[in-house]
């Protein structure tokens, strides 16, 4: 008898789960409620052909305020977003995210719900155009530890004064080129056509680092590192990218990271979003 009651209970539970039938004190799960918003907000849901898109950015931008104004938030696990506390203006709104290309820009005003359609990137190459510059810069091949200390221009091309790989990385990244440039963005990972025609990428980079107001400083830094090896390193980087090499796919913001990024970009800091 007890076994029969047990089986009946299992069947009832299965019906409740599958059909969503309510039982006393256990209401069936309801769809997400409308996103609370007021007259200064823009809110809605971002979906694509794959369904709700979580961890993507919704960008609201206006030029109506006398100076450019842009606010950015991140969608939650259900693709929902809310851009809060917007000044009264007409806004251009669109979606950006890893694995996507920018969605068509739509016009909106605060106080009205706005669902958005995200656009899946047609190819990995097109998706990669939106990756942070640092991901592209990560493709740079730093000389191995075994090449240090350098043996000079007649040896491995690294200056004899560079004692170990850490010093090379410091001059290449933390206290070097990245002190002034966002290396890895489109303008730096490619050789610009207006630089001129060159027989090799090494020659192009040699010309490039002598250009502009700080050309003498860049050129001196390359010589400090070991000009030959530094130019070969950057030439190899741009050659491989030109040939189609792509950086690793960045993870989308999620969990606490999503909340931190939401707060950070909401204050106007948009690092990583505009490569």
pLDDT in tens, 239-273: 999 999 999 999 999 876 666 554 444 333 333 44
CB distance 192 to 242 below 8 Å: no
Distance, CA of 177 to CA of 167 (rounded, Å): 13
CB distance 84 to 117 below 8 Å: no
CATH architecture of 42-122+250-266: Sandwich (2.60)
pLDDT tens across 130-151, in order? 999 999 999 999 999 999 999 9
**HSE value, Cβ hemisphere, 13 Å, CA-based, for 51:** 3
The whole-number pLDDT of residue 257 equals 60
The whole-number pLDDT of residue 29 equals 31
The model carries a pTM of 0.79
CB distance 218 to 209 below 8 Å: yes
All structural domains of the chain with their residue ranges:
42-122+250-266, 133-242
Q: What is the mean pLDDT of residues 44-63?
A: 97
Q: Partners of 94 in the beta sheet? A: 59
For residue 213, name the pLDDT band (cuts at 50, 70, 90): confident
φ and ψ of 233, to 5 deg: -65, -50
Instruction: Give the strand pairing for 116-117 and 42-48.
Output: parallel
Top pLDDT among 40 and 17 is at 40
Residue 180 in this model has a pLDDT that exceeds 90: no
């Amino acid at each position: 008898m007890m076994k029969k009651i047990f089986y009946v209970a299992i069947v009832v539970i299965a019906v409740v789960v599958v059909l969503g039938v309510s039982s006393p004190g256990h209401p069936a799960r309801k769809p997400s409620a409308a996103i609370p918003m007021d007259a200064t907000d823009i809110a809605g849901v971002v979906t694509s052909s794959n369904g709700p898109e979580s961890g993507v950015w919704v960008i609201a931008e206006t030029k109506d305020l006398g100076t450019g104004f842009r606010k950015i938030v991140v969608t939650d696990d259900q693709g929902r977003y809310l851009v809060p506390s917007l000044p009264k203006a007409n806004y251009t709104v669109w979606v950006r995210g890893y694995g996507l290309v920018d969605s068509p820009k739509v016009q909106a005003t605060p106080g009205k719900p706005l669902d958005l359609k995200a656009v899946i990137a047609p190819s990995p190459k097109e998706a990669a155009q939106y990756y942070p510059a640092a991901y592209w810069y990560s493709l740079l091949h730093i000389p191995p530890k075994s090449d240090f200390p350098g043996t000079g221009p007649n040896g491995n091309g690294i200056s004899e004064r560079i004692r170990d790989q850490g010093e090379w990385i410091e001059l290449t990244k933390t206290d070097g080129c990245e002190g002034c440039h966002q290396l890895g963005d489109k303008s730096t990972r490619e050789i610009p056509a207006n630089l001129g025609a060159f027989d090799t990428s090494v020659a192009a980079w040699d010309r490039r680092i002598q250009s502009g107001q700080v050309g003498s400083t860049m050129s001196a830094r390359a010589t400090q590192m070991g000009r030959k090896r530094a130019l070969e390193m950057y030439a190899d980087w741009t050659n491989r990218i030109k040939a189609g090499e792509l950086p690793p796919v960045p993870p989308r913001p999620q969990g606490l990271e999503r909340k931190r990024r939401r707060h950070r970009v909401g204050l106007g800091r948009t690092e990583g979003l505009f490569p």
